[in-house]
Amino acid sequence: MRKNIVAGNWKMNNDLSETEELLAQLKQHLEQEPQAEVIVAPSFTNLYHVFQSLAGTPVKVAAQNMHESENGAFTGEVSAKMLTSVGVKYVILGHSERRAIFKETDELLAKKVTSALKNDLQVIFCVGEELDQRKSDNHFNVVEEQLSKGLFNISKEDWKNVVIAYEPVWAIGTGETASPEQAQEMHAFIRKTVSEKFGSEIAEEVSILYGGSVKPANAKEIFAKEDVDGGLIGGASLKAEDFLAIVHSF
Ligand SMILES: O=C[C@H](O)COP(=O)(O)O
């Protein structure tokens, strides 16, 4: 039975005091056994603080990125081992902002995935098409290629540590959400693609999250779809009330 997951990607928001405020509200209102696994992804500077503050709660901590190497002369970078050493359990890889703004390629992402899994980090691997790719009916090809080049060189055993997030780029931070039917159609396609390469047992077990303008008002309808196992939430995860309402949308 695959897991429902709601992950909050705080992106480059929340300094230390804002982080403390948000954590206090989350802790006050989040019960010990939420219906979904809850993950928050703060910036690097706040990872350890968030991990310590959430001790004793079911909430897991994710990093928003990492370097593919174990260590070395890579000024400004952070390795998988550094992340696990401060309590991080997940890392988000392949986010469209990393792909578009920081020019991360599928080949680079494949190396990051390998390093993360080798160092016992679970990977939230993001895929998704841009608006012109959807308009030209290329969205399935784009997502298939992102999966096969960036993720599919892992072993069957690695899949227990992988979550996929489908985030159509045109829906991120725009207020425009994929319809529940569009989300379901792509999630089913992703599951079929995983199944063809790794078998149905693995495909049925992998959680596939939807991301892109998920709000309390639309979460229930999106999460109700058969192949949608939760969400990767940006803007709405910065407000405890909205994030908790989304967590409670199953
Ligand atoms: O990682 C989260 C996604 O980019 C979605 O962001 P958003 O909920 O602000 O659209």
Q: Tell me what percent of the residues of the chain surpass a pLDDT of 90.
A: 94
User: Which residues constitute the domain of residue 33?
Assistant: 5-247
Ligand 1 in contact with 214 (CB < 6 A)? Answer: yes
pLDDT band (50, 70, 90) for residue 113: very high
Strands 37-41 and 5-9: parallel
For this structure, is 29 an active site residue? Answer: no
Confidence check on the interface: ipTM exceeds 0.95, yes or no: yes
Q: Measured in angstroms, how far is the CA atom of residue 213 from the centroid of ligand 1?
A: 6
Nearest partner of 162 among 193, 129, 205, judged by Cα: 205
pLDDT band (50, 70, 90) for residue 130: very high
Give the model's pLDDT for residue 1.
87
The domain total for the chain is: 1
Ligand 1 in contact with 213 (CB < 6 A)? Answer: yes
For this structure, is 130 an active site residue? Answer: no
Read off the CATH number of the domain in which 29 is found: 3.20.20.70
CA angle 90, 29, 60 (to 5 degrees): 10
**Partners of 166 in the beta sheet?**
127, 210
Give the model's pLDDT for residue 31.
80
Tokens representing residue 83 in the block: 């992340």
